[in-house]
Every structure is written in structure tokens, then in C-alpha cells.
């Protein structure tokens, strides 16, 4: 009989990998798992509740907030606050960092950056959505933690992952020692190890990009798309175009099957659209740990400097060979691209 390993058990067993953490990181990951279960419950009954549609407000990016955006944001912040292992939360849904100034959490050692509900506009049409999270160690030793603790390069992450709410709910994460996936078993209410040591294929046959923006793409990106569409039996082209509109869902598929996900600069978004701190960096860390590659077209995502909390970046991420091929199309510095 195969042993069932829950997320909690797995985290405890791997705790020895982080002797400096003394259990805090393990408890922090547990808190994220608890919040994910609560959000999953609401996502799964969204059609029966008054939580579909727009909330009537916008976030710092000027995007319409969905009711479930706000709900997910509140649940993750509450879980992290009550857990006491996190001192600051940086969220897509909030303009400023959130200091968790409780007696327990104000001296905590960790920072969490989070996109509470990626692809939330898909909720209304029952398409998979997700949560993206990133964990950093606090840098300041004295006084109140601040923005400088959040503005760390992606290389400084100690853990990152995502939760996908779909036909099954999965939590996939890395602590810099490989990638493991856990599927929620609703019969026992636990995430169970289902995808140990996940590895993205070195190449694939899927490219994911919003081709509705084609006219706004730089010529180099248009050239790469044409390359994907040209028949070549030696490289299994033409590739299949698959775009869900949720970074978590698109990358989860490509992680398992192989592929490339692209969100480039455009004439309407000259700095890119996806946020570096709580979308690009955590996904880049995870995909690299699975054997893949992630760049902004000319530089490794994890090595980009952070200048502002809601900084945007283009991204080319996925199977190593496919990303390297895209880079060969002269994907120069974003600010120099002619869109």
C-alpha cells in the first residue's frame, strides 16, 4: 500500500534542510496551505454565492477588482497574521506593504509577496485561477521592517509557489531544492503529495501568448511566433497555441507538458504587464528549480533589480530549449524595443 504523505508531513520531514529557520518557514508554508483551502472552498461554490463579478473598485494597477480578489486577499493576510511567522505582506491588491504589527508577528523573520487570485476575471466563466506566493527572509535586524525588506532580488527568495484552483486543486512549491506538487484530497481536507520532484521537459510543443495583442508586439516577438507556426518535422513544429489568460494555469500546463509562456513588452505596455515581485519572480524561481528558464528577453528574471513594489516586467518562461530559442530572436532590452 502506497504511503500518503500530506503537505504538513512533507514540510516537517524537509525542515532539516533549513536549520536556521527553527520551524518558522515550515509553519509559514502551513499557514499558506490553510488559507488556500479556505479560498478553494469559496472558488468552488462561487456560482452559488454572491461573490461573482466585479467588486466596484480598482487596484493600484488600475485593474477592476473582482469580489473574489478581495476575499482571497483578506484570507491570506488573515492566515499570515494569525500564524505569526510573517511581518510584512506585499499584495497585488494593495498599494502599500502591509505590516502585521501584532505582538507575535512584528518580530517575525519572513516577508510574503502574493498575488491572491491570478486570472480572477476567469472566475465568472469557470476557468482555472490561482494564487502565486513568494517568501523572503527579513533583512532588517532592528526597528520596524519596511519596504527595503521587500525590495529583494528574486535570487534571495527562500520559497515560492502557486495554488491552482481547477478540476483538482494543487499546491506546487519550491524551497530551492526541487519542486513538489500536492493535490487537495477533499475527503480528508489535506494536500497530499501527488507530483514529487517535478521537472519541466527541456522542450515542448506549446506556446502561450495573447495573440490578440499581436499588432502591438515588437518585431522580434512577431518573428518568434511565426517560427512557432512554421511546419518543421525535426522540431515538432508547428507548435500548438494554448492561452488560458491565467499565468498560473498556463504555466502549470507547461510545467507538466513542456512549453513556453510569453508576456512581452507591447506598444501599450512598454515595461511589460506582469508584476516582477509577486508574479514573475516566484514563477521564475519555481520553473528554474524544475529545470526550466525564465528571462525578460535579455536578462535572467531572478537577477533583475527591484525599483518599486508594483514594478512590471516582460517575461519569457518555460522549457529551457524553447526559451533559449526565443532569446535568439534578438530580444533586446525592453526599454530599447521598438514596438
Q: pTM of the entire structure? A: 0.91
- Of the candidate ranges 118-127, 192-201, 290-299, 320-329, the one whose mean pLDDT is the lowest: 118-127
Q: Are residues 18 and 135 in the same domain?
A: yes
pLDDT at 213: 94
pLDDT at 69: 86
pLDDT band at 23 (very low <50, low <70, confident <90, very high): confident
Compute the distance between CA of residue 157 and CA of residue 48 in angstroms, rounded to an integer.
38
Instruction: Tell whether omega for the bond before 238 is within 30 degrees of 0, i.e. cis.
Output: yes
Dist CA 158 CA 199 (whole Å): 19
Please, what is the average pLDDT of the chain? 88
| Residues 34 and 150 occupy one common structural domain | yes
Give residue 182's pLDDT band: very low, low, confident or very high (50, 70, 90). Answer: very high
Same domain, 55 and 164: yes
45 is in an annotated binding site: no
118 is in an annotated binding site: yes
Domain end (from 166, 195, 224): 195
158 and 133 in one domain? yes
Does the annotation place 168 within a ligand binding site? no
* CA gap 273, 4 in Å, rounded: 40
Please check whether residues 137 and 233 belong to one and the same domain.
no
Segments forming the whole domain that contains residue 257: 206-336
- Range in 42-51, 165-174, 177-186, 323-332 with the lowest mean pLDDT: 42-51
Number of domains in the chain: 2
Please report whether residue 2 resides in a domain.
no
106 or 86, which is more confident: 86
Judgement on whether residues 39 and 182 belong to the same structural domain of the protein:
yes
pLDDT of residue 65: 66
250 appears as a binding residue in the annotation = no
- Say whether pLDDT at 53 is over 80: no
User: Is residue 200 one of the residues assigned to a domain?
Assistant: no
- Tell me if 279 is assigned to a ligand binding site: yes
The stretch 172-183 carries a mean pLDDT of 96
Q: Are 64 and 58 in contact (CB under 8 A)?
A: yes
Is residue 243 marked as binding?
yes
- pLDDT, tens only, 195-218: 999 999 999 999 999 999 999 999
Establish whether 167 is an annotated binding residue.
Answer: no
With 70 as the cut, is the pLDDT of residue 55 above it? no
Is 211 annotated among the ligand-binding residues? no
pLDDT value at position 338?
41
211 and 289 together in one domain: yes
H-state helical runs in the chain: 7-13, 24-44, 67-83, 147-150, 219-229, 247-257, 281-289, 320-327
Q: Are residues 139 and 113 in the same domain?
A: yes
Indicate the residue among 136, 167, 195 that finishes a domain: 195
Answer whether residue 24 shows pLDDT above 70: yes
**Binding residue per annotation — 273?**
yes
Please give the Cα distance from 241 to 222 (Å, whole number). 14
Amino acid at each position: 500500500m502506497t504511503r500518503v504523505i500530506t503537505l504538513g508531513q512533507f514540510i516537517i520531514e524537509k525542515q532539516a534542510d533549513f536549520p536556521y529557520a527553527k520551524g518558522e518557514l515550515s509553519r509559514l508554508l502551513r499557514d499558506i496551505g490553510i488559507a488556500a483551502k479556505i479560498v478553494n472552498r469559496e472558488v468552488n461554490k462561487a456560482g452559488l454565492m454572491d461573490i461573482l463579478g466585479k467588486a466596484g473598485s480598482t487596484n493600484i494597477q488600475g485593474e477592476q477588482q473582482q469580489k473574489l480578489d478581495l476575499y482571497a486577499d483578506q484570507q491570506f493576510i488573515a492566515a499570515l497574521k494569525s500564524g505569526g511567522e510573517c511581518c510584512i505582506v506585499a499584495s497585488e491588491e494593495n498599494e502599500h506593504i502591509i505590516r502585521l504589527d501584532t505582538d507575535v508577528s512584528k518580530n517575525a523573520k519572513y516577508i510574503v509577496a502574493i498575488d491572491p487570485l491570478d486570472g480572477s476575471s476567469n472566475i465568472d466563466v469557470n476557468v482555472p485561477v490561482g494564487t502565486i506566493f513568494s517568501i523572503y527572509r527579513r533583512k532588517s535586524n532592528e526597528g520596524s521592517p519596511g519596504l527595503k525588506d521587500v525590495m529583494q532580488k528574486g535570487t534571495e527568495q527562500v520559497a515560492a509557489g502557486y495554488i491552482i484552483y481547477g478540476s483538482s486543486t494543487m499546491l506546487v512549491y519550491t524551497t530551492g531544492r526541487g519542486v513538489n506538487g500536492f493535490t487537495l484530497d477533499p475527503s480528508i481536507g489535506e494536500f497530499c503529495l501527488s507530483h514529487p520532484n517535478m521537472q519541466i521537459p527541456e522542450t515542448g510543443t506549446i506556446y502561450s501568448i495573447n495573440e490578440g495583442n499581436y499588432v502591438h508586439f515588437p518585431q522580434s516577438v512577431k518573428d518568434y511566433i511565426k517560427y512557432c507556426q512554421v511546419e518543421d518535422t525535426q522540431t515538432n513544429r508547428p507548435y500548438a497555441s494554448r492561452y488560458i489568460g491565467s499565468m498560473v494555469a498556463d504555466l502549470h500546463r507547461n510545467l507538466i507538458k513542456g512549453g513556453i509562456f510569453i508576456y512581452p513588452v507591447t506598444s501599450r505596455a512598454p515595461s511589460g504587464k506582469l508584476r516582477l515581485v509577486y508574479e514573475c519572480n516566484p514563477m521564475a524561481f519555481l520553473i528554474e528549480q524544475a529545470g526550466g528558464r525564465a528571462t525578460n528577453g535579455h536578462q535572467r528574471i531572478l537577477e533583475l533589480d527591484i525599483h518599486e513594489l508594483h514594478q512590471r516586467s516582460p517575461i519569457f518562461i518555460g522549457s529551457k530549449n524553447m526559451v533559449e530559442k526565443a532569446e535568439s530572436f534578438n530580444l533586446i532590452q525592453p526599454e530599447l524595443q521598438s514596438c
